[in-house]
Amino acid sequence: MTQKQLIETVQQHHPNLGETQIRIFLNKALDEFCRKTRILNTIYTFNTTADTRYYDLDDSIAEVTRVDYDGYEIPRLVGKPEKTDVS
Amino acid sequence: MSVDQRTAALKKVYWLERDAIGLAMVSSTDSSADYISVNEAKEVTIHAVKLDEDFVASGTGITMTESPAIPAEFHDALAKYAIAKGYELNPQTLQVAQYFNKEWEMCIREGKKYANKGRDGSGYHIKQYDY
């Protein structure tokens, strides 16, 4: 269904609700559905830079399930390194 | 890929912090730290569960004539959520809201089953995740 069709379906029940309000509800529903069902999966690729420890995650990532470094799966560290480095 | 490349890669670890991914390697030369920053340029692949784009009136996102990326059979679930929220605005229609909320929860359960089922029709299984 397109966004227009979804809005029309909602307006059959709530003819006085505006498109903006319905769009807020639909966006909340879509986020909650994706988070709870984990239905959409994807991969992101980037290259490391020497002496850089942190790399920003894309806003659309809900959960990281696996990380590969140079083609090999690497383990998730429990906790954080002892020595802080915020670079 | 060589054995050395494999050995080097497997000395790396990651963790998540402040909306970023931290990458480090086991320290073998610096005795003052257990992990040190990676000192080379290598490709990192993040496998992730992602959120869909937002519905928008115009611009970047799901426009009026576009559909969300979730499977088509779950599109009406989004409408059910919005219908329930609409009924919740009026105290006299809370019971109707409950009905649509129940429908919404049912769609979530079906969505979880769909996400965990192999496309070859193989059985439903529960995936384990780190928290």
- What are the extents of the domains in chain B? 3-37, 52-118
Cβ-defined contact of B55 to A55 (cutoff 8 Å)? no
The reported pLDDT for the residue numbered B125 is 60
ipTM above 0.90, yes or no: no
Which stretch of A12-21, A72-81, B74-83, B122-131 has the lowest confidence by average pLDDT? Answer: B122-131
Contacts of A6 in chain B (CB under 8 A): 55, 75, 78-79, 82
Q: How does residue A79 score in pLDDT terms, banded at 50, 70 and 90?
A: confident
Cβ-defined contact of B22 to A80 (cutoff 8 Å)? yes
**For range A51-57, the mean pLDDT:** 88
Q: What are the backbone dihedrals phi and psi of residue A41, each rounded to the nearest 5 degrees, phi first? A: -120, 150
Kindly list the domain boundaries of chain A, sorted by start residue.
3-37
**Residue B37 CB partners (closer than 8 Å, separation 6+):** A50, A51, A52, A53, A85, A87, B23, B24, B25
Block means of pLDDT (10 residues each) for chain B, length 131 residues? Answer: 72 88 79 75 92 93 93 94 94 93 94 81 63 57
How many beta-carbon contacts under 8 Å exist across A and B?
Answer: 267
